[in-house]
Amino acid sequence: MLIKLSGGTIYDPAHGIDGKIMDIFVRDGRIVEKPRDGERIDQEYNLAGKVVMAGAIDMHTHIGGGKVNIARTMLPEDHRHDPAAHSDLCRAGCGHAVPSTLTAGYRYAEMGYTAGFEPAVLPMNARQAHLEMGDTPMIDKGGYAMLGSDDLFLRMLAAKQDQNAINDYVAWTIAASQGIGIKVVNAGGINAFKFNQRFLDLDEQNSYYGITPREVLKTLARAVHELGVPHPLHVHGNNLGVPGNVETTLNSMAGVEGYPMHLTHIQFHSYGTEGDRKFSSGAARIAEAINKQKNISADVGQILFGQTVTASGDQMSQFRNAGAGSPHKSVCMDIECDAGCGVVPFKYKDQNFVNALQWAIGLEIFLLVDDPWRIFLTTDHPNGAPFTSYPHLIKLLMDKTFRNDMFASLNLDAQKMSTLASIDREYSLYEIAIMTRAGAAKLVGLHDRGHLGVGAAADITVYTDIADREKMFEKPDYVFKDGQLIVKDGNIVRVVWGATHTVKPEFDRGIEKEIKQYFDKYLTIKMDHMKVSNDEIEGDGRGKVIVQECKGRREKTA
Amino acid sequence: MDNFAQAGTVESVTCPFCGLLCDDLTVQRDSAGNLKVMENGCARAVTFFERAVAAPSPRIQGKPAALQEAIAKAAEILGKARQPLLAGLGTEVFGMRAVMNLAESSRAALDHMNSNGFMRNIHVLQNSGWFTTTLSEVRNRVDLLVVVGTDISSVNPRFFEREIWNTETMFDQNTSQREIVYLGGRDLDTSAGVSPDGRQPDVFACDLDRIPEVVAALRALIIGKKLHAPEIAGIATADLEQLAQRLLAAKYAVVAWAAGPLAFPHAELTVQNITELVIAINKTTRAAGLPLGGSDGDTSANQVSAWISGYPMRNSYLRNYPDFDPYIYAADRQLQSGEADALFWVSTFNPERTPPAADVPTVVFGDAHMEFEKEPDVYIPVGTPGIDHKGIMFRSDNVVALPLQQLRSSNLPTLGEVLHAIEQALQTAVQ
């Protein structure tokens, strides 16, 4: 089957194409060269005047796993407002803050997204994360395995084990959890909380292991780099939400000593202590640091106003914040000598000083970071806002008048504390395509996604170029997934299941001896039972494991 | 690949019979497929694994029928029903996915056989939340275990062996020094709580239906209230005061309960007092709740239902979208009120969990050893997950999902295969 997408205006930043009118040819799910004259075109779409981009990629979205399902279970009152009925094509479910898996897949696709990555796969809960992602249709999936507060890693650090052994353990964890990267959440802090520590700053020691977050970050950033995993260490910083945490964040950037590091939902980690209320924007300093340090990337974790739920591995912070929950309830868990989690429903209010300033801080970061290849569009779904608010967020970035009108309606004290109104920058379509496609694919290590070059998977989204960018991005004309038309005029026309992207860095299997000993001695399951097999993801005939290329194991770098 | 036709020994077998999911069993198979637990089995595991191989024919109105006929008959009953009820739901993750599909296709209501107990926990989760832990954390960290209203051993036989009297912990704790307190209940078998060196646990007994008062009093004491009553349900207030102080002084106290045995009205309020006193302790030191008990796939049913529909049990597709109502969709109530007009009962682990008596057409997807007081309209024996076929199951702590192994070849279909065939037949009938 040969498909021709004719005459669309193409935005393909991976190839430097910025709004050029071109034809795209698709065969068997891939983008192909222009066929020879006379070759039969099976189907042609006239895209004159339309905007064509690769399918969008959400590089940080909580779509599957224990804490997400706790959030679902906790919030029947939220689901009731947004039922999703059974149709000839689509299964029933519910939406809003934390949608059912099937509804999440449909709604991502309906907005032109073709991939989403679960950023907090606890290795001990990886099977559940993959089960849920397996029930998420339409989009490709993948997950970052969480390390850094697990007792085995901290024992290895405390025993001053060789970096090579750490690297082997990190690679083993990626393989066992079927991950595509490594995430660290409140480095060492979730573990310290189990010893009744309530904060853990970058150079504070875990009271049992004597290890500091700085050591955790540096060791893991180095491990990920030396293993050749394309996605840099994915870091949820220490002191989330704490006024003054901008210092911790800046020190963390410096602390990895040049190794690549991705700082996630950095908005929540960019707070100063100035002003009457001792809460201020650290956005300018954060943006300046990102602009200078080319090894650092970040996604914003923008908050938007309304009801949502915060679901995080950062149990230490979530327990601290539980009192601010709305509705007032929370779930915290210590988990399997592996990690923790905390779920707190939250309602962000535009007349609340802190919330309004959080909103402004996120946008300031977006607008002050120069390089769109290193800053990414997220709301940390659902923590800052549900992913369905992305079109609104894109409009805030692309339309200064709209943004300033919104800003002028916020809490007045917050307005006084923000420079947002003085920032003139408006994102271009090309920059949006970088943030949500080319840059995201490059960051995650999806070599054949996020671009429209020959050989790429034909994940393609087609929009009508209208001035109201929110309307434009919430309802694409067409979405193709692996060459199949799945969405037309914002509605699902075909259900597909997507694949699971992983990496499989090389490691010395000898490490399993130590890991097995640890499991047998201390844990309550067998090591082999933790591993998620390909068969579990592919067994029902609709999932598929894709192994993305690693750069190969590097020699020791330090 | 295992050669199931031959005798053999399988190690690291996961036992799905209770919520602990012990995965260290050794099971021997004879050439006929009969199983024997060789190592690490409890009495319940032995009962579960050692039932003789059986593969009875499906039955319609008590008469043997081909599987296809039984499936067609079940589809016919489902097609005619205006408010079908899928209940029991004693299955694992893959079976539960098939249940959800069929429920949606037939606009059925869903309820699990253990919901009367489990919903006590769900109510708390939805009303206030909680602070809990998981089995490996308990095994390595607990220094004070308070057990409310159960002996644990009758619901989770190996709990003390595996998580309390383990010899080694990561943090150099001498586990024989762990303190065990049984709070509430009468005539509990507390022998499992005796430490290896013979130290007796503390037992504060009271009648089951007085537990709410005792737990409420303990919570009050923990948050610093003074109680004037000299005793609560026969337990000296001074003892409760001392227990509160021990909880506040512990480094990692665990307060465990099993929702099923708390069988008194509004036990959810007692669960909530347990979880809220745990949260109160966490203001100054560390503590966690631990929901125990369960199985017949109750945790798995709630998990799968929550991610596929958004809601846990007592859920329905009657409106063509998921609808959650813990009162309206209770299976017993639906049957007693006559709202449900067909019952589809699933119990793949336990032949003793037969359907409730009901005056509506009844279809049973059950263990091969099931015996009925009243023969259902259709009985389709299905394989047992973890014996006849693979599966995935969640532990009672709600976090760890473990693979269930296939241990022998079986002629029995899986629940998923049968439900899928019924769904197909239903759709064909509609077209």
Chain A environment of B303 (Cβ under 8 Å): 69, 128
Q: Select from B104, B132, B303 the Cβ nearest to the Cβ of A86.
A: B104
CA distance B16 to A202: 43
CB pairs under 8 A between A and B: 189
CA distance A150 to chain B (A): 11
Cβ contact A94–B311 (<8 Å):
yes
pLDDT of residue A553: 84
A333 and B312 within 8 Å at the Cβ level: the answer is: no
Q: Is B306 on the interface with A (CB under 8 A)?
A: yes
**Residue of A333, A533, A534, A542 best to disrupt the B interface, most CBs of B under 10 A:** A333
Chain-chain contact of B127 with A194 (C-beta, under 8 angstroms): no
Q: What ipTM, to 2 d.p.? A: 0.97
Residue B413 has pLDDT above 90, yes or no: yes
- What single DSSP character describes residue A124? G
Nearest CB neighbour to B122, from listed A73, A128, A529: A73
For residues B208 and B186, the answer to whether their CB atoms sit within 8 Å is yes
Which residues between 193 and 222 in chain A have a beta carbon less than 8 angstroms from any beta carbon of chain B? 193-196, 208
Q: Of the candidates A335, A526, A529, which has its C-beta nearest B399's C-beta?
A: A335
Q: For the whole model, what pTM was predicted?
A: 0.98
A336/A117 Cα distance (integer angstroms) = 23
Chain A segment 60-119 residues within 8 A of B by beta carbon are 64, 66, 68-70, 72-76, 79-80, 83-86, 91-94, 98-103
Structure tokens at A34: 């222009």
B427 Cβ under 8 Å from any chain A Cβ: no
Judge whether A127 is closer than 8 Å to chain B, CB to CB: yes
pLDDT of residue B294: 84
What's the burial of A323, exposed, middle or buried (CB within 10 Å: 0-12/13-18/19+)? Answer: exposed
Chain A residues 342-371 within an 8 A CB cutoff of chain B? 343
**Reduced to 3 states, what is the DSSP secondary structure of residue A431?**
helix
| Distance between A104 CA and the closest CA of chain B, angstroms | 10
Strands (E) across A442-537 are located at 460-464, 478-481, 484-488, 491-492, 500-503
pLDDT in tens, B256-273: 999 999 999 999 999 999
Chain B residue numbers with beta carbons less than 8 Å from the beta carbon of A128 are 303, 394, 399, 401
Encode pLDDT of B273-304 as tens digits.
999 999 999 999 999 999 998 889 999 999 99
Whether the pLDDT of residue B356 is over 60: the answer is: yes
Which residues of A fall within a CB distance of 8 Å from B130? 331-332
Query: Mutating which of B399, B404, B420, B427 best tests the A interface, going by the most A Cβ atoms within 10 A?
Result: B399
Searching chain B, which residue's CA lies closest to the CA of residue A93? Answer: B309
Nearest CA to A434 among A371, A363, A368, A386? A371
Query: What is the DSSP pairing of strand A375-376 with strand A339-348?
Result: unpaired
Closest Cβ–Cβ partner in A69, A85, A526 for B12: A526
- Check if B192 contacts A (Cβ < 8 Å): no
B140 and chain A in contact, CB less than 8 A: yes
How far apart are the C-alpha atoms of A98 and A134, rounded to whole Å? 17
Residue B192 CB contacts under 8 Å (≥ 6 apart), including other chains: B151, B152, B153, B159, B160, B161
* Contacts (Cβ under 8 Å, ≥6 apart) of A548: A180, A230, A445, A446, A447, A501, A502, A503
Interface check B337 vs A, CB under 8 A: no
Provide the token pair at A307: 């009801």
Query: What contacts B268, CB < 8 A, 6 or more positions away?
Result: B119, B120, B121, B123, B124, B127
pLDDT digits (tens, 9 = 90+) for B368-412: 999 999 999 999 999 999 999 999 999 999 999 999 999 999 999
Cα A315–Cα A375–Cα A441 angle in degrees, nearest 5: 95
Residue numbers in A near B122 (CB within 8 A):
73
| Whether B131 and A343 lie within 8 Å, measured CB to CB | no
**Considering Cα of B140, then B142, then B145, then B150, what sign does the dihedral take?**
negative
Which candidate, B13, B108, B51, places its Cα nearest to that of A86?
Answer: B108
Q: Which residue of A has its CA nearest to B310?
A: A100
**Taking CB atoms and an 8 Å cutoff, what residues of chain B touch A76?**
126, 310-311, 324
Interface test with chain A among B165, B292, B400, B427, by most A beta carbons within 10 Å: B400
- Helix (H) / strand (E) containing A54: strand A50-54
Cβ within 8 Å, pair B125-A131:
no
CA distance A106 to A91: 9
Note which residues in 466-495 of chain A have CB less than 8 A from chain B.
none
**Is some CB atom of chain A closer than 8 A to the CB atom of B324?**
yes
Measured distance CA(B274)–CA(B210) in Å, rounded:
14
Distance (Å, whole) CA B306 – CA B315: 10
| SS3 category, A12 | strand
Q: Measured between alpha carbons, how far is B93 from B400 in angstroms, rounded to an integer?
A: 13
Residue position matching structure tokens 């047998």: A520
Average pLDDT by stretches of 10, chain A with 558 residues:
97 98 98 94 97 98 97 98 97 98 98 98 98 98 98 98 97 98 97 97 97 98 97 96 97 95 98 98 98 98 98 95 95 98 98 98 98 98 98 98 98 98 98 98 97 98 98 98 98 98 97 98 98 92 94 78
* Residues of chain B contacting residue A191, judged by C-beta atoms under 8 Å apart: none
The closest alpha carbon to A168, from A153, A185, A180, A186, belongs to: A153
Residue A556: the pLDDT is: 74
